[in-house]
Structures are given as C-alpha cells and as structure tokens.
Structure 1
Amino acid sequence: MDTQGQSTSPFAINAKDWSWKLWPLFPIYPYGQRRSLLQEVVKDTIWTIDQVQGIFYVVVPIRMTIVRLEAGGLLVYAPVAPTVGCIRLMRDLEAKHGPVKYIILPTASGLEHKVFVGPFARHFPQAQVYVAPSQWSFPLNLPLSWLGFPLGRTQPIPADPKDAPFANEFDYAVLGPIGLGLGKFEEVALFHRRSRTLLVTDSVVSIPNDPPAVVQLDPYPLLFHAKDSADQVVDDTPANRRKGWHRIALFAFFFRPSVLDVVQFGDVLRNAKTASDRSRKGYFGFFPFKWKPNWEASFQALHSGGRLFVAPVLQKLILNRAPQETLDWATSVAGWDFQRIVPCHLDAPVQADWRQFRQAFAFLEKFPLVSDTLPQQDFEFLQELNEGLTRRGITPPEREKV
C-alpha cells in the first residue's frame, strides 16, 4: 500500500520538507525540490521511498529500499536525497523497528545513487556504510572520504558474502567491474532470504502502463510530454497523464526512438512564438518533439505487459562489453529463490522469479532458448552512439555474444 503521511502529501506539507540544497552536485530535475513517497512492499519487513529525477521533464522514479532486520534495526539499499520529508519517514520506521544499522551503495558508476550516500549517512551516525568495491570518480579518482562518505565507517562490501555482518539474512553477488574506458560499471544484487525479495539497481527494470505514483505528485512533466505541438493546451486527465508517461518511457530508454521525428531548429523557434506556455517552467515555448502516428505501438512493444528486461542503454553501451561475465552473474543470481524484484528505477515491486530474471539477459546469447527481444528499430540511435564511442577510443569495443 502507499503511505502518504504529512511528508508526502502535495498539499498538506510545507515545501521546506522537499528542499534539497545540495542539488548542484547533481543538477537535474527537480533540482532543489524532491518529494518522497513511502510504499510498504512486504508488511512490517520491506519499504521503498521513491523520488523523481530527469532531464527536460523526462522524469522517472529513483528508489531506495529499507529492510527490517530480524534482530532489530534497518538496512538501507541505495539511498535517495535525505530531505526533511525523507528523513521524517525514516525516523518513523526507526521508531517502530530500530535504528539504521547498514547503508549499501550498490553501484560504482551511478552518480544518481552515489551522490546521496554521504549526506544520507550523516543522519545515521551509527550506521556502517558498505559500497560496491570498485568505486571511482572523474576527472580525478579521489578517496571516498573526500567525496563526503563518512570516514571510519565506510568500507567495500566483503568479497565473500559470508563475511558481511548481515550474512545471516542476505546473499549478494557483484556484477563487474566492467571496464568502460573512463570508468567502470558495477552492481551489487542483494537477496533477502526471509521475504524472498531481490534488490537490484539498474540491471533489470519493468515499465508500468500507468505513471508511477511519485511521478503523479506533480503532473506537469506528464502533461508537457502529452502535447503534440508547442501551441496545444493539454487538459489534466488520466488519459493525458498516461500518454505523457508512455512518451517519457520511450525517451528514457532509447534517447531518440524511431517513432520521433527530428524537428529543425528554425521550426522550433518559430513554434515557440505561439506556444501555449512560454514561461521559464515551459522552457519558453521550446518544444522540439514531433511524434509519428504509430508511436504508441512502439511503447506497447517496450512495455509488453510489464515484462522484466535490461534497459537498452545497458544492452548497447555497457553489458555487451562483458557478455560472459554478465551471464555468469545473472545465472548466479537466478540460483536464489526469489518471488519479487525491487529495482531502483521504474516499477516496483515486480512479481518475477529466477526464470524471468535470467531470461532478461538472453540478448547476450547467440542462441537463446527463448527469444524475447525489444523492438530493434528503436535501437538505431544507441547503436550509432555505441559505434561512435568505440571508434573514438572512448569505450572498448563490444564483444561477441556467448
């Protein structure tokens, strides 16, 4: 169930509860205002707190997961921005279930996750911080303490899961590090045995047909992308919110899907003069989008009933650099008896088992037992980007499928 107390209501809350003053560290929408939405996933055991993030109103959920430990206390996986509202939700959980004991940063490359860990950990000075082992920063590879991580209580997650202080309740497996030239990709999948729940960061996702609840707290981005032209006025209806969400999903996964026409810059400027919203919030009427008539079919192929899949950017730019290592990791994770998956983005919880998880990585196999690929025409821009990065020596070449 969704829990919208005083800290999550868009009306009954002071805007100071949303304030995130450190937004210049990661300057993307919604900048200095981040609302938090609490959801109970497993009664009295697992909760999530969602916020939103995006560029040019392409907004998607970013999520942290909180697990109640059997001996008392809490484990936090992938913290979000510790706004006043977010911390209030955490204090409520602590009052019922004990203090935060462990904070997990499950990625080495995801700045949208890494940037919040230090500020979040300062609110819980007794918690131990465990991070994916191959941390790095750009342009200088700095010590974690210089990046705001608490000195003396931050350490890499142990190589052997049996050595972790929470080993009696959790298993985990580390994907990577996968070399990407400038940095490395790494992810820690965490399995909570008692609730049969798998926590992942970016490796797999599922797209809901309706906009997630946290995205609907402020519908402006949804209605912005529901427009067909700069001068159109879009009513706030469930159908228009859904239309905007479907287009946002196509943007988020393909950057430039095949069902989107490129609008000439001169036309964009001319259309801005008659735009329905020429305010700063409306980007001064700047609306460079023109969708083809068949765009909805492209979303439905991507959605496909809410299936589990690997995001296209990971398929084309990251995991194809290490297909065997990725498949070995996916097979290892598939050995756990989970019945739901909680990713850090898009839909959650996703009712899925080891078969559906392992099948999501079939794109790395030459001869998959079951073919379930995403619409390949929408991969054209990502393929061009992949080839360009390799040609310029920015990233290593992709390897052959296994």
Structure 2
Amino acid sequence: MTLEERVSTTIEAMGSKDRSWRFWFTVPIYPYSQRRTIRTEVLPNTIWTFEQLQGIFYVVVPIRMTVVKLSGSGLLVYAPVAPTEECIDLVNELVAIHGDVKFIILPTVSGLEHKVFVGPFARKFPQAQVWIAPDQWSFPVNLPLSWIGFPSDRTHILPADSRQTPFGDEFDYAILGTLLISSNLANFSGRGQFAEVAFLHRRSRTLLVTDTIVSLPSAPPPILELEPYPLLFHARDRASEPIVDTPANRLKGWQRICLFALYFQPSVLATRNWLQTFGDAITAPDRSHQSYFGLYPFDWQPNWQQTFTDTRDRGRLFVAPILQTLILNRAPQQTIAWVDRIVQWDFDRIIPCHFDAPVVATPQAFRAAFSFLECGSTPTQLPATDMQLLQQIDRQLVWLRLIVAAKDKI
C-alpha cells in the first residue's frame, strides 16, 4: 500500500475541533498545547487506534491509544492519550455506536507520557472504571493516587490474575514487573521501577503492548504527513539549507528521526561544536523560534541510511535499545518468564504504543525479539556501533550507583 493510500484509508476524521491540551506543561514536549488526533480503524467495528505526536527538538514519534469494542456493548481504552476536544469527540463517535467507555487501562508505571493523561481522560468518562499497573509512583514526592489525578472511587490495581477483573472473560494480560532498576532511586519515590502490562484481546487475536516492542515503518506515519515540519527540519544537512517540502525530504527526515529516537546519538551522526553551530545559524534562511533560531548542530555521515535499513530490517519486531541496555537486562529471568507467558497466547497482530501499528506478527516473532537476554541464542542484533552511546551511559550510571548492574544472561 502506498503512503497516499495509507493516509486516505486510515484517517477517518480530522475535522476542525479544538486540539488544545491545556495541561501540556506537565510533560512540556512537542507539540506542546496543540495536539492533533487521528483515528484509524484497525479491525472493522472492533479495534481503533488514536494517534498523537510527541517529541523533543522535532524528534517526534506517534504516541498511540487503542480502543477495543467489548462483546455486547461498551469500549475498553488502553493507554489514553491527551483528551483534547477533538480526541474526545472521536471517541464519542464510537460511544454513540458501540456503547460507553467502560474500562480505562494504564499499562505502565514509568511512562510519564502515558500516565499523565489517564486522570484527565477518565474525567471525560465518569462512569468508566480505571485499572492501573501495580506500584505507581509520582515525582518528586510519592503521593496518593487520588492526589495525582486518578479518581479515587473508581481506580483499581490490576491483580495478577486477569480472571479477577470484570473484563477477564474477553482479555488476558501479563504484568512485567515491577522491575527494580535502582534501589537508590526506588527509595526516592519509586523512580527506579519499571513495569508494563501486555493485553490480549482473544476474539480478535490482538496483542496490545506499551513500550517494550517496536517495529519501524519505512515511511512517515500519517499523522506526521499532516504535520511535516519536523520531517523537513531533520532532512537538512546544514542549517544554511532551506526547508523544502518534497516526498524525498519527508522520507529522509523520518528515517533520521527514527535513529535519533532509538539511539539518541547514532554512530553515523556527529555533533558539531557550538561555535560552528552558532556561526551556521547566522546564515540560516529561517531564524525564527520555529526553526530553533537557525540552530542545527548535526553532521550526518554518508552511510546513515544503511543504519536505518539495518535497524528496521524489513519491519521486524525488536526491543527498544534503551530497554535492552538499561532496563530489561536488569531482570532477564523475570522478563523471559513474562515473554514465555505471552507466547502461549494465540495472536497474529501486535499494537504497540509507538512507531508502527498494527504489526502482523506471530508469538514466535515476539519471542525472538527478546533473545538478546539469553545465552547461546543468535538474536538479530541491532547495529553494535549504534548501541555504544547507550552502553556508555549504562556504565556511567552503574559507576555512579544510580542504577544496578545488568545481570548475566539466562
């Protein structure tokens, strides 16, 4: 399917509704107070995704909420996004056809960009029950759930057994965590903990995950095609180059954004010294605040596209690099046990909260993505040179005793 066909078939309603998010300062990242939402029907009359954008320095990727129709009547919402007027209107269009939002799921404890929306979203649907991953925390002080926006009279902790929930006849779920990443940070408001809850919708054979698994699309997602400036910003090689909107530049910008988002500083990127960066900014054709006053401190090596191709590897599933190097390798046995439980389920598509979705995938492909945690396995590795910065950060944080050391592979 071409990009044009993707855009025309997935965007159901754009409208002219209010896209403002007045609590943007709680997570002050792009696009700040204006958040466009697009709704995509993944499975007719059964599953829909709602996408918005988020990022820093125009390194923007989709953040995704999934809505599933319950048998009979009603909707379950997995990982809410910002409840702008546009977003809520798009949800209410489904409510009018399929019944009320009955359940709202927060499947993580460490993803601030996910949990900050749950309380405001729940207030838009006052009859919905809120179910959240165990061991939630807040910063800088660990406050009661009701103090950080969760409605006290209808918020519940997800139990280990999904059969104990009112949606257990339609969904299985498996809780990864709570993983202790740092004992020092955990003692200070729980910031040293990680957890994720994967949901299986049995009837549609669909697996919902948050951050652990991703797949890179070859082309920019439709929501970025509607707001292409970040793509065009990163398509340049120098600050002196003008912003030019072409299909080739959109594709080039997307591929570079993926490398930024995954590796922070991929091996094919060299940062320019600030004296040279400020000098280049003087000659930039656009020195407005939108273009960061002409600042563009990046030098891409000629082979950068090969790094994207190697990372994407035809859209295969993989664990995000930061989770490979800083999180999941702290608890390999616990993680593999979680994975082994999930691969017992029957699913043929996965919907992550970021990058591509839905991803056609088998339980075997899901299992293979975690083989980096096992001795004697031959995992499909991410480019080793691009993992070096994250590995260096890992060593420094361990040396500073801010995180615990990685454990041996199982």
For Structure 1 versus Structure 2, the TM-score category normalised by the shorter chain is over 0.9
| Residue aligned with 1:273, SS | helix
Which residue number corresponds to residue 98 of structure 1? 99
Q: Deviations over 1:171-220 (max 9, x none)?
A: 00000111122221000000000000000000100000000011111100
How does 1:161-176 map onto structure 2 within 5 Å?
A: 161-176=162-177
Q: Distance in 1 between matches of 2:140 and 2:325?
A: 24
| Residue aligned with 1:102, SS | strand
Which residue number corresponds to residue 72 of structure 2? 71
Q: Deviations over 1:344-392 (max 9, x none)?
A: 0000000001000000001111111x43111111011000100111110
How does 1:310-329 map onto structure 2 within 5 Å?
A: 310-329=319-338
CA offset at residue 237 of structure 1?
A: 1.2
How does 1:19-168 map onto structure 2 within 5 Å?
A: 19-168=20-169
Q: Distance in 2 between matches of 1:4 and 1:149?
A: 30
| Residue aligned with 1:66, SS | strand
Say if 2:406 is the partner of 1:398: yes
What are structure 1's unaligned runs of at least 5 residues? none
Compare 19-28 and 151-160 and name the one that shifted more: 151-160
Compare 136-145 and 219-228 and name the one that shifted more: 136-145
The one-letter code matched in structure 1 to 2:227 is D
Identity %: 56
Q: Distance in 2 between matches of 1:3 and 1:158?
A: 36
How does 1:183-332 map onto structure 2 within 5 Å?
A: 183=191, 184-332=193-341
| Residue aligned with 2:60, SS | strand
| Residue aligned with 2:174, SS | strand
The one-letter code matched in structure 1 to 2:40 is Q
Q: Deviations over 1:106-158 (max 9, x none)?
A: 00100000000000000000000000011111221111100011111001012
Which residue number corresponds to residue 6 of structure 2? none
Equivalenced residues, count: 394
Say if 2:396 is the partner of 1:388: yes
Which residue number corresponds to residue 352 of structure 1? 361
8 Å CA contact 2:179, 2:331 repeated in 1: yes
8 Å CA contact 1:26, 1:112 repeated in 2: yes
Say if 2:386 is the partner of 1:378: yes
Q: Distance in 1 between matches of 2:330 and 2:407?
A: 5
The one-letter code matched in structure 1 to 2:274 is F
Q: Distance in 1 between matches of 2:385 and 2:315?
A: 20
Q: Distance in 2 between matches of 1:226 and 1:18?
A: 27
The one-letter code matched in structure 1 to 2:75 is L
The one-letter code matched in structure 1 to 2:335 is T
Which residue number corresponds to residue 366 of structure 1? 375
Q: Distance in 2 between matches of 1:29 and 1:400?
A: 38
Q: Distance in 2 between matches of 1:394 and 1:160?
A: 33
Q: Distance in 2 between matches of 1:328 and 1:367?
A: 17
CA offset at residue 291 of structure 1?
A: 0.3
CA RMSD of aligned residues (A): 0.8
Q: Deviations over 1:295-350 (max 9, x none)?
A: 00000001111110000000001001001110110111011010000000000000
What are structure 2's unaligned runs of at least 5 residues? 1-8, 186-190
Say if 2:346 is the partner of 1:337: yes
| Residue aligned with 1:44, SS | coil
8 Å CA contact 2:350, 2:357 repeated in 1: yes
The one-letter code matched in structure 2 to 1:380 is Q
Q: Distance in 1 between matches of 2:327 and 2:225?
A: 31
The one-letter code matched in structure 2 to 1:190 is F
